[in-house]
Copies of this chain bind each other. A is one copy, B any other.
Amino acid sequence: MGQVKVNGHTNGHNGLNGVNGHSKEDYSSFLTRHRPQETYSLTSIEPESFYGKLRTLYANKVLKTQLEQLKKQGSYDAFKLKWHPVYDVRRLYGGKARTDGIPPSLFWESDVGKWIEGACYFLSSPNAKRFSHACEFDAAIQELVDMIEKAQQPDGYLNIYFTAVDQEGRFKNLRDLHEMYNAGHLLEAALAHYRYTGSRQFIDVMIKNVECFMNQFGPAENQLHGYPGHPEFELAILRLYSLTQDRKHLEFAKYLLEARGVKRDDQNGETYFVWEAKQRKDEIVAPTMDTIEDVWYHQAHKPIHDQEDVLGHSVRAFYLLTAAADLGGAFLNDAKRLWSDAVDNKMYATGGFGTEPRFEGFSPIPHHLPQSTGEGGCYAETCASIAVMMTSERILSHELSGKIRDVLELCLLNNTLGGGNLEGNQFSYANKQASWGNEDEIRHDWFEVCCCPGNVSRQLGMLGGYTWSVDLDEDKKTINLNIYLLLSATRTIPLPNNQSATVTMKSDMPWNGATQWDFKAPEGWKWNVRLPKPDYAENIKVSESTEEVQPGFLTLSLASTSSLTQSFNMPIRLLAPHIATGQDTLTVARGPIVYTAEAYDNEAIEAAYKHFEGVGITSNTTFTEIEEIIHGIPVILLQADQSAYALNELKDDQAYRVVGKDHLARSWRKLDKGIKFVPWFARANRGGKGHLRTAFLRADEALAQS
């Protein structure tokens, strides 16, 4: 290949040397591919830029809020292994057990893990000194790591509930009880901690914990052949391998992916979850399960290579596919195939995924995308969009694709960013496209199962790693720079012989398509740059001539010290969903930003038409852009220049009306003003009652009537 990897470990750590060497036979590119978690700290994001301000919010306020919530929730102290009332599931649910048999504390390790991981990313970012609570966070991280270390059992086992409460329950129910899921998040935290501190304290605990799992689980006859019910461990183990380069970690992650959904003779011809459930002789099932064989919710109904449709729990699906894409080979094809099914057939305009609140997952039906509870459900969990970002980034690390980049950016700037408010103290879990009935689409302080808030922090913490990737071609002295996100940042690129290069990017995105770069490399080096060619961009101009070598990316070559500019227009677009949705609606978008309308900006209209039900806009609507600062974050709101329309009311007792009869004819009433739209991510930030709608009826026929 002639290329070497820029490891980019903070503090100069160059990785733990594994016991075994690694061959290139199957997954030869694995160790040389870019990873955001290894490279984020080489990128300094401009603090006064849009993304920089968001990062400051997360570093100064969100992480602090989350730490306080973890302490209040009990998870912070839970590693002390003392009794906590939450463990008494029957008390907690008013005497009723959850049907899935899962106490919410079974996610506590992951909540704490994600906080540590996110905090470590922020604290090891180039501008960490400017963050308000850095010392407090450092102390909390140390205290947590000390508690975690003490909570580990002599055999390496590490899980709060199955140590403090139910030791007999260990390894009995991988399908539901999240031992591997939690271990994965703690492992990711330990990897971030090692890169931040250089201390092996936490990572050694977790390597010992991984070995505990590896003793128990694997393909050998004397092992159980299990894998996680909620994927996560796979992707974490692969990240561990990228650090340790210990072949047995690669093999274990590979085993976890390969064993999934496979029927084995030594499991009575069943898959692991079915065999395991029969061993338990229990009947506890997920809400989607008609029988214990019914494990599509867990993506364990068949081997991954045989899965044609993306099914089940959205976050589980994309954590699994992140590992699959990372591993590469045939698993990369699986990730691409199922990613396409999700993005082409099961995605909301906001980059949200998951229709079914009942199981937090995909409708099995392509383009079945109801917008609200009233239409039959909508979920769009924050974590699911993050998981799609993760998978997208892993696929991009193998091959550039503008469509995948566009989706990564869409998920980031809409459903992921919208997972937190702009004051840094409230969060959303489900993100419905429209409110309905007595529901209010507002954010909340915390959740009983609180996966999403910490997940947003992690993504913003390592945002520099998502911004671009670098490959060096030392033979040709070429720096290959692939730009994923247009924002304002500077990246240092270490070169051989203690040399380095830098690239500085100044961008008006996501609000305007003007970006400029300054490249500086030592004499003799050159740059090979791939710029995004977003699907939403029009009239793209680049100051150098380019070629579209990879679809959706513009390639150009530059001398060692160069400048570059790119500009494009981002006309406001009205998006209509696929015919098969059965929805004849328009959604407003501008560049990568998708808009929604809130009662807050449209009081009169929403008061007359609750949740904007029956309200439409026309295809020829134009807009005035309004710059506004919401809690310190600059945004552009859009005021429609044309009045909205409302369908004339129908009799309430009339399920059907006869077209053409005057008293029942469908007709539109012109309202006296246009609708004002706010970026989806910035919704529910200025008060208001949480009534909103994203997709409006297309009222083009009203034009003919008027």
Contacts and interface: CB of A to CB of B under 8 A. Distances in A.
A583 interface: yes
A573 B375 contact: no
Contacts of A579: 613-614, 647, 650
A293 B96 contact: yes
Contact of A363 (B365, B376, B575, B700): B376
A452 interface: no
A370 B587 CA distance: 22
A495 interface: no
A291 interface: yes
Contact of A290 (B287, B340, B373, B574): B287
Contact of A657 (B99, B287, B576, B614): B576
Contacts of A584: 584
A223 B581 CA distance: 53
A376 B368 CA distance: 6
A656 B374 CA distance: 22
A366 B666 CA distance: 20
B575 A656 contact: yes
Contact of A574 (B293, B655, B660): B660
Interface string A328-366: 000000000000100111010100000000000001011
A658 interface: yes
Contacts of A652: 344
Interface in A554-610: 573-580, 582-584, 586-587
A25 B293 CA distance: 57
Contacts of A614: 579-580
Interface string A288-329: 001101000000000000000000000000000000000000
Contacts of A580: 374, 613-614
B659 A586 contact: yes
Contacts of A371: 582
Contacts of A653: 340, 344, 403
A283 interface: yes
A515 interface: no
A270 to B, nearest CB: 11
Interface string A132-161: 000000000000000000000000000000
A587 B659 CA distance: 10
Contact of A658 (B293, B365, B575, B700): B575
A619 interface: yes
A629 interface: no
Interface in A79-135: 96-97, 99
Contacts of A656: 349, 575-578, 587
Nearest to A646: B579
Contacts of A1: none
A583 B586 contact: no
Listed residue (A368, A613, A659) with the most chain B CB atoms within 10 angstroms of its CB: A659
A334 B579 CA distance: 40
A539 interface: no
A343 B651 CA distance: 13
- Chain A interface bracket (under 10, 10 to 19, 20 to 34, 35 or more): 35 or more
Listed residue (A344, A370, A656) with the most chain B CB atoms within 10 angstroms of its CB: A656
Contact of A96 (B291, B366, B657): B291
A543 interface: no
A368 B370 CA distance: 10
Given A287-B290, A344-B652, A584-B584, A573 B658 contact: yes
A654 interface: yes
A574 B368 contact: no
A578 B374 contact: no
Contact of A368 (B99, B290, B374): B374
Listed residue (A365, A403, A647, A660) with the most chain B CB atoms within 10 angstroms of its CB: A365
Contacts of A576: 656-659, 666
A530 to B, nearest CB: 22
A704 interface: yes
Contacts of A340: 653
A701 interface: yes
A580 B370 CA distance: 12
Contacts of A657: 575-576, 578
A382 B666 CA distance: 31
Nearest to A347: B655
Contacts of A291: 96-97, 99
A700 B576 CA distance: 17
Nearest to A365: B374
A367 B654 CA distance: 11
B655 A619 contact: no
A206 to B, nearest CB: 36
Nearest to A578: B655
Given A368-B376, A375-B368, A376-B376, A578 B619 contact: no
Interface string A359-400: 000010111101101111000000000000000000000000
Interface string A458-496: 000000000000000000000000000000000000000
Nearest to A647: B579
A409 B349 CA distance: 43
Interface of A: 96-97, 99, 283, 287, 290-291, 293, 340, 343-345, 347, 349, 363, 365-368, 370-371, 373-376, 403, 573-580, 582-584, 586-587, 613-614, 619, 647, 650, 652-660, 666, 700-701, 704
Given A367-B374, A577-B656, 11 more contacts: A97-B291, A283-B283, A349-B656, A370-B582, A375-B582, A574-B659, A575-B659, A576-B658, A578-B655, A619-B659, A701-B701
23 contacts: A96-B293, A97-B291, A340-B653, A345-B655, A368-B374, A368-B375, A368-B376, A371-B582, A376-B376, A573-B658, A575-B657, A576-B658, A576-B659, A577-B655, A578-B657, A579-B614, A579-B650, A584-B584, A586-B659, A587-B656, A619-B659, A700-B701, A701-B704
